[in-house]
Structure 1
Amino acid sequence: MQLVPKYADEATGTGILIAPGVRQNLGIRTVEVERGRLPGAISVPGTIGWDLRLEEVMSARVDAIIERVFVKAPYERVQAGQPLAGILAPAWSTALAEAQALRNADSAAAQALQSAAQERLRVLGLPASVRSNDGRIVLSAPVDGVVSEIAAREGATAAAGTLLFRVNGTDTVWLEAAIPQAGVGAIAPGTPVEARVSTLPGKVFEGRVETLLPQIEAGSRTQQARIVLENPEGLLTPGMFAQVTLDPEGGEAHVLVPADAVIGGGTQTRVIVMTREGRFQPVAVQTGRSGGGMTEILSGLEGGERVVASGQFLIDSEASLSGALDRLNADAPEGQPTGTMPGMDGASTAEPQGKREVLYWYDPMRPEEHFDKPGKSPFMDMQLVPKYADEAPEETGEGTEPTP
């Protein structure tokens, strides 16, 4: 391998200098780095669920016997005030009877005791949806919605704290969208959202991201974004799958470069920058999101530079080789040649050891045939090889007289 010249004008700057004609032949193309926002929206899958803030749990606040259950089918729609069950609760019945008697009394003393009776009802945990009808305590639905769970059974005894019904409101629902980890940085509370459900063609449900749940799914490497959707007609049902489009408009502007200009692999990500002097040098960068053929640069570039968008791998390879040779030359002792691999130019790298005595020459393919002078083998078109006196004796062919 021939030695590579190092010219004096190359020492005046860093990077690689490439003539304009060579750039054109290699197809090297540069573009100016600009600041902006990535175009396009993010499309991810999502799942509809209950808005748990509209959930009402109805339980027995005191010991009671369930006499009648009016709603027996799970997921039945109910209206606010609709009876759900009739129960017998002595503590509640007694307190309600006393409160009603005081309310109907005309005496001044009875009027004074009304507030105490109402406080007793509150302490006993009597919900506002409970009403008395001919001595029977009736539990009524607190909101419009769906009875998602029914635990009450006719004739059963319910201890204080036992769950009887769970009612979920449907005016709004939660949509949980799985955001890839790489795109989470562009999503924030308030990001506009459009949701489409395959079972409701032509319907578009609009909303905004309410919060990003502080948990990453280990298997899919996604983070859940909670979106609140209005559902006045009750068309959206928990369990539905939706296609969610998030448009992170108004996000922070970043330095943008063509995605093809980014060189990955190894221990760092880099781009090739062309300096004002026309030299090319690699610059380490930290990348962000990618989209629309562009990549965000979070650090390493300021904007206004020119980066190589085509042919950058050739320049990167040359820069890596030049850097390795420069490090080799810096480490070599003064006066020693550098920049070539031993033996690649065909010359011997052995130190001169004086004249060696030659016993004979032989054909490498037929070592038993010896000759007294150098030349080509009469058997094969190959040069004869010398046998030196200081070499170990051959196992074959020793003692054969040299052929004249």
Structure 2
Amino acid sequence: MSPTMSKLPYALAAAAALLGAGAAAGYLWAQRSAAPHAAATAGTAPTPAAPERKVLYWYDPMSPATRFDKPGKSPFMDMQLVPMYADADEAAGTVRIDPGITQNLGLRLATVTRTHGAQEIHASGVLGFNERELAVVQARSGGFVERVPALAPGDVLPAGALLAELLLPEWAAVQQEALALQRLGQAELLAAAQERMRLAGMPEELIRSVLASGQVQSRVAIRTPRAGVIQELEVRAGMNLMAGATLARIQGLGTVWLEAGVPEAQSAAVRVGQAARIQLASRPGETLDGKVAALLPALNDAARTLRVRIELPNPGGALRPGLSAQVRLLGATQAAALAVPTEAVIRTGQRALVMLAEGQGRYRPVEVLLGGELGSLTLIQSGLAEGQQVVASGQFLIDSEASLKGIRPQPTGSQP
């Protein structure tokens, strides 16, 4: 057999294999092409396109309060404006937080309750001198200072303590004239001489002493008119004095003033005569009772507080000016009113907000009108209803989220 004839069976087998593979590939291609057509003929509808979301407005996340009608670039930051859609939670004025993570955020709710009681205003203050007890000692006539005890500003003296001994020549001449008229028995002239002694500045005690003793008393002892502390001492031994020269200023310590600063927002609730409870840092555990003596006409510009004056008795001088104090001003009992924990209120300076919990992890910022305070509670005049729940802890996180998303607080008095 020739070599050509011996290779023929192998060639026929290879050709048969190639034809089989081609037939299999054609069958698979036909099945795949027929599948969409079969599905269409079976009645399977194509997937519908998602509806287009409605855009309410565009905003800059860094300045969410400003809204824009069209998309574009923010005039505040180098970034594109973000759309706010109508189907978003924020469009309803709420912030949604997954209930599963509220515990991690430390959120704590409190119920709006109705309560009544005496309103309390808390303030801080400092003790000071009662300036009505200030005594000024002056020379009533020109003369000389002969002696001054060992005194200095800050010394506390009893009433009648010696301040200085003065020699007053002008008084000597007037006294001699009065004594001469007394010896002559001229009653009318003596009365005129006594009047001249008074006009010269002599006290009544000195006039009676001169006429009773018949002796000229030109050396005069100047004594403190009241008990107190020496604030100024302007007299020294050997000085020449002119009439009206100030010798000393004596500040009485029988009573002291406590000047407290009441926040401007609570100043309308303070009245003269209002009871006050005072606690001094230097006397822990002890409470002093007092009353509001005066409301000073000018506010403290730096702290924006009403200056309230409380007068306190000071037996033994135990209350020292300069001591700090905490004050509770007790108001009249008020009718029942809504109240929330004070910590739940967010004060922005222009308004007060609370974060209202609406269930299912939704929270809404609501503007409220505040009343006074009752202990740890703040009274609410409008903006909330009894039984509602507000966020008492972690509300600042929600407020920040609402601000970033451009959610405006619900106005006072409107309903959700």
2:306 aligned to which of 220, 223, 242: 223
CA offsets 1:77-115 (integer angstroms, 9 cap, x no match)? 33333332111223333334545666x6583x32x3454
2:148 aligned with 1:69: yes
Q: Structure 1 residue 237: deviation in Å? A: 2.5
Structure 2: distance between partners of 1:2 and 1:119: 109
Q: 1:58 to 1:128 in 2, by over 3 A?
A: farther
TM-score (norm 2): 0.55
Partner of 1:326: none
Q: Secondary structure of the equivalent of 2:141?
A: coil
Greater Cα shift, 164-173 or 90-99? 90-99
Structure 2: distance between partners of 1:266 and 1:161: 53
Q: Structure 1 residue 253: deviation in Å? A: 4.9
Q: 1:153 to 1:282 in 2, by over 3 A?
A: closer
Task: Point out where structure 1 has 5 or more consecutive residues left out of the alignment.
Answer: 6-15, 17-25, 275-279, 324-404
Structure 1: distance between partners of 2:226 and 2:131: 13
Partner of 1:42: 122
Q: Secondary structure of the equivalent of 2:238?
A: coil
Q: Structure 1 residue 247: deviation in Å? A: 3.3
2:329 aligned to which of 244, 247, 266: 247
Alignment of 1:327-346 (within 5 A): none
Q: 1:307 to 1:60 in 2, by over 3 A?
A: same
Contact 2:119 / 2:332 at 8 angstroms: preserved in 1?
no
Structure 1: distance between partners of 2:310 and 2:180: 50
Q: 1:213 to 1:263 in 2, by over 3 A?
A: closer
Letter in 2 for 1:246: R
Greater Cα shift, 229-238 or 214-223? 214-223
Structure 2: distance between partners of 1:180 and 1:268: 15
Letter in 2 for 1:124: A
Contact 1:63 / 1:89 at 8 angstroms: preserved in 2?
yes
Partner of 2:273: 190
Partner of 1:151: 234
Alignment of 1:3-402 (within 5 A): 34=114, 36-37=116-117, 42=122, 44=124, 46-70=125-149, 72-99=151-178, 107=185, 109-110=186-187, 112-127=188-203, 134-200=217-283, 203-239=286-322, 241-250=323-332, 253=335, 255-259=337-341, 269=352, 285-290=368-373, 292-298=375-381, 305-306=385-386, 308-310=388-390
Q: Secondary structure of the equivalent of 1:53?
A: helix
Q: Structure 1 residue 151: deviation in Å? A: 0.3
Letter in 1 for 2:329: D
Q: 1:47 to 1:155 in 2, by over 3 A?
A: same
Contact 2:279 / 2:287 at 8 angstroms: preserved in 1?
yes
Structure 2: distance between partners of 1:234 and 1:183: 32
Contact 1:271 / 1:282 at 8 angstroms: preserved in 2?
yes
Q: Structure 1 residue 51: deviation in Å? A: 1.4
Q: Secondary structure of the equivalent of 2:192?
A: helix
CA offsets 1:270-292 (integer angstroms, 9 cap, x no match)? 67999xxxxx9997542244454
Which has the higher relative contact order, 1 or 2, with Cα contacts under 8 A spaced 6 or more apart? 2
Partner of 1:399: none
Q: Secondary structure of the equivalent of 2:160?
A: coil
Q: Structure 1 residue 156: deviation in Å? A: 1.0
Q: Structure 1 residue 35: deviation in Å? A: 6.1
Partner of 2:89: none
Q: Secondary structure of the equivalent of 1:178?
A: strand
Q: 1:265 to 1:183 in 2, by over 3 A?
A: closer
Contact 2:371 / 2:379 at 8 angstroms: preserved in 1?
yes
Q: Structure 1 residue 57: deviation in Å? A: 0.1
CA offsets 1:197-256 (integer angstroms, 9 cap, x no match)? 4445565433222112223333333333222111121222233x1323323231655743
Structure 2: distance between partners of 1:266 and 1:126: 62
Structure 1: distance between partners of 2:130 and 2:138: 20
What is the RMSD of the two structures over their aligned residues, measured on CA atoms? 4.7
Structure 1: distance between partners of 2:145 and 2:249: 16
Task: Point out where structure 2 has 5 or more consecutive residues left out of the alignment.
Answer: 1-49, 55-91, 93-101, 211-215, 358-362, 411-416
Q: 1:267 to 1:134 in 2, by over 3 A?
A: closer
Structure 2: distance between partners of 1:139 and 1:293: 56
Structure 1: distance between partners of 2:239 and 2:373: 61
Partner of 1:393: none
TM-score (norm 1): 0.57
Max Rg structure: 2
Contact 1:96 / 1:121 at 8 angstroms: preserved in 2?
yes
Q: 1:183 to 1:231 in 2, by over 3 A?
A: same
The aligned length equals 297
Letter in 2 for 1:257: A
Partner of 1:23: none
Structure 2: distance between partners of 1:166 and 1:141: 9
Structure 2: distance between partners of 1:185 and 1:120: 55
